[in-house]
Structures are given as C-alpha cells and as structure tokens.
Amino acid sequence: MMKITVQSSKTIKPIYDDDGNNAPSPQQPEAVLLTVFDKATFDQRISAMNFFHPPSPSTAALESGLARILTACRVWAGRLGVDPTTGNRAILLNDAGARLVEATADVSLSSMMPTEPTPELQSLHPSRHGVEELLLVQATRFTCGSFVVGYTLHHLVADGQAMATTMVALGQAIRGVPVDPVPVIDRALPVFAPRNPPRVEFEHRDAEFKLPHHQTEKVYSSKVISDDEVVVHRVRFSRQSISKLKSMASSSSTSRRPSYTTLQCVVAYLWRCITKARRFAGHQITTTMRVAVNGRTRLHDPPIPQEYIGNAVLWARPTATMAELADMPLGHVVELVSRAVARMDDRYFRSFIDLASSGAVEEEGLTPTADATKMVLSPDVEVYSLLGFQFHEIDFGTGAPFFHMRGYVAEEGLVFVVPSFSGDGSIYAYVNFFRRDMEMFKRCCYSVIAAADARL
C-alpha cells in the first residue's frame, strides 16, 4: 500500500512588480462572463496526473512558477461567482489565488506504477470536492526521486486543450524561461459574438441543450443500474491493430473513397464492443456516441486561438440501434462516426453560438445536455480524444512526462483516448465500465487486436 503524506498546502497568489508594470489595468473588468461554450460544458472539476523522472523542482521554483502563471492568467486565481452588473455567472478576478500542495510517498514510483485510474490514486491529485480554487496543483515526490504533478481545475474555466496549455506554461514558468506561446484569456474574442443577423441553421435542442423536465431520456431500468462498481480498463491499440481496423473499415465502407482517421476507426470499434458487452435484450434500442470536437480546429473566420484558456468543445452525435451496431460491418459504423464528426464544421459551431446568444436558452429554460450528475451513460458512450495535446511540451525541469493519466471518475460509459509515450505509434483507450460487463467487453475488444498483434 502506498501512503501519501501532505507536507504543505498553501494559497499562491499573483505577484505584481513594485512599480506596477505587470499589474492589471484599471479598466480590466472585475468579473469575466462565461462564454456560450463555458455554459454548455460540465459544471464540475476535473483532474489529471503527469509522471516525471527525477529530480523534482524545488518548493521555491513551484511557488514562483505558479505565481507567474497566475499573474499572466488571472482567471486561475479567481473564483466562480455572479457578475454584479448582469447577474450572470462569471469568473471573479479577485486574485484569491490557486492551491499548491506538496506531498511525499513512502514508496518508489516503480513499485506502484499505475496503468489505470483507480479510487486509490486520487491521493496523487488535489481533491475535486469542497474546494473554492479554480486551479489546484499537487507535486508528490517518491523515494526514488521521481515525482507526479497532479492537478484539479474547474471545467467551466477550461477544456482539455486549455488544461494542457496551462501545464505547458506552468512548466516554463517553473523553469524560469519565457512563457511561449502566451495563453489567451480574453473571453470577449470576436469569435464568440453572434452573427448579425443570427442564423440558427441546425437543431441544437436535444444536442447541446435539453428542454426542462426532459421526457426523452433513454432509461432502461432492467439493465442500467448503478449498484455495481465502475472500473477503468486500458486498451492498447498497437500500430498493427490500428492498421487492421483501418483496413476492415475501408474494405466494408459505404463511401466511394473512404479515408478514415485512427480515432474514427478506434472509437467506432469500441462503440460496437461496448454495446455488445452491455447485452441489452431490445435490439431496436438506440445508442448515441458523443464525440468531443474541438472548435479551435473548426472555427476559421475568425478562429479561436490554439492557446485560448477556456472551453471550445461541442459533441458529434452518431446514433444507431443495437442491432445495427451488432450486424453492420465495421466500415458502416466508422462511416456513421465520420459523417457525424464532419458535420461539426464552422457553420455548425456558429449556428450554436447564434442560438446560445439569442436569449432562447433562458426564455425556454433550456439546460446543457452536459450533465455532471449523470454517472451512468448506458446505452450511450462519451468519447474524448487527447491525441493532439502537447504533452511532450510539458516540462517541469527534467523533460517531458513519461506517462499521463486522468483522475478516476466513476462514470460508466466514458472513454478517453490518449497517445502512447513510447513513440511506437500505439495509442491507449481508457474505458469506464461496470465490473460485471468488463469481461464481455474484453472478449469482444481483443478478438481483433490480439489477432493483429499475433502476426508480428
């Protein structure tokens, strides 16, 4: 058993020069309103961990580096509250500070090196509960000299890419080098403004929003019960197994010129295996896979900067019946995913901005479909890809992390796809599933993967 001992826990605040050169402008607002993307995402805190080789940075370097980032990105030193002018939720720029925790482990990292998130590993990152800070960072030093940097942040302030951007900047600040690129924190960028006149070209109710007293939630009480333990299984897709899936998809595709990405093939395959493992009796039950799509790559004129600290994600929603997923060739499933993702273009994102800015959400009492209280997604699946994130640029003084892992969340049906740090072309998928269904999932999933890898 690993014992984690907290050595210190303190509030770190921005540091402004005595001459006031880097102090906030008197014209800067005291509160920053949430954007339409912020308000459409999950109202919760999220956690992740990066694992590093020794030596660990000093306490002084951690404190000064975090203070530098808070000075440049004041949103992380603020608190969620209400804008006194509009009465809407906002980030209060009060410089209340972020939390820095330093801890030690009584074992070497190699003796307990995890491969999958578990409840026990939550001691390696700050708690997500009962805290006010929007950013909390924990450095845990192991007896071998290796260290883990775990962090917890509020999702209303940042999405996954913004979280990675923040960690890259924090590493640069800790090392004492210029922060480059400089994070963008302006929530009044032109890209977030509705068009004039607005053009709501797509149906966003039942997509990003749901009606009050929503009556169309898919509930199947005979199977969807939450009294079982949610466990996380890591599936490795080697370069060979990825090639096999792409070949299967292309040979059975309905498209005349199929060209599918690694992510599309992998998540389509996982969607089918997850659905089979759930063993629903009704083959006409529909299942939807929500695939997070980053607006930074979709919005073009004007765009969202890649280094923007905020939310810019909407979800593609391919849908099929249980029977279709079980019977149709893999290429058909991949085509469903490909078309749904392609639909999430500049027009779709701007249509969402126009609706969300029109007042219709408030007038109709619409609420986000991104519901942090929903812990059982079955019969649906939700997918997040971290494949393009700049993990290799996160450096706290000893180079890039050799491993990254999100914090444990007991949410059934959640899938995270992350790159391998080995450089061999493989990727990993972390699948949250009820323990009772996990063996069936493994049998389905590894039927193709094992065959592809056996040819090596």
Confirm if 52 and 396 have CB atoms less than 8 A apart.
yes
d(CA 153, CA 137): 9
d(CA 236, CA 219): 31
Is 345 catalytic? The answer is no
Neighbour tally for 319: CB within 10 Å = 12
d(CA 302, CA 193): 10
The answer for residues whose C-beta is within 8 angstroms of residue 362's C-beta and 6 or more apart is none
Exposed (0-12), middle (13-18) or buried (19+): which is 303, by Cβ within 10 Å? middle
Cis omega before residue 194 (within 30°)?
no
Confirm if 263 and 415 have CB atoms less than 8 A apart.
no
The tokens describing 158, both together, are: 């940042």
Tell me the sheet residues that pair with 385: 417
The tokens describing 219, both together, are: 């509930």
- Measured at the CA of 364, the angle between CA 359 and CA 365, to 5 degrees, comes to 100
**Nearest residue to 328 (alpha-carbon basis) of 293, 385, 292, 287:** 287
d(CA 375, CA 396): 34
d(CA 239, CA 37): 35
Q: Which residue is associated with the tokens 């922060």? A: 179
Q: Return the SS3 of 116.
A: coil
The answer for residues whose C-beta is within 8 angstroms of residue 383's C-beta and 6 or more apart is 267, 270, 289, 290, 291, 292, 415, 416, 417
Catalytic residue among 38, 354, 380, 395: 395
Q: Which residue is associated with the tokens 């389509």? A: 268
Is 283 catalytic? The answer is no
Query: What is the strand order of the sheet 89-92 is part of?
Result: 31-33, 89-92, 79-82
Q: Which residue is associated with the tokens 């260290």? A: 147
Catalytic residue among 125, 155, 204, 404: 155
Which of the 8 DSSP states describes residue 81? E
d(CA 273, CA 278): 9
d(CA 422, CA 403): 9
User: Which amino acids are annotated catalytic?
Assistant: 155, 395
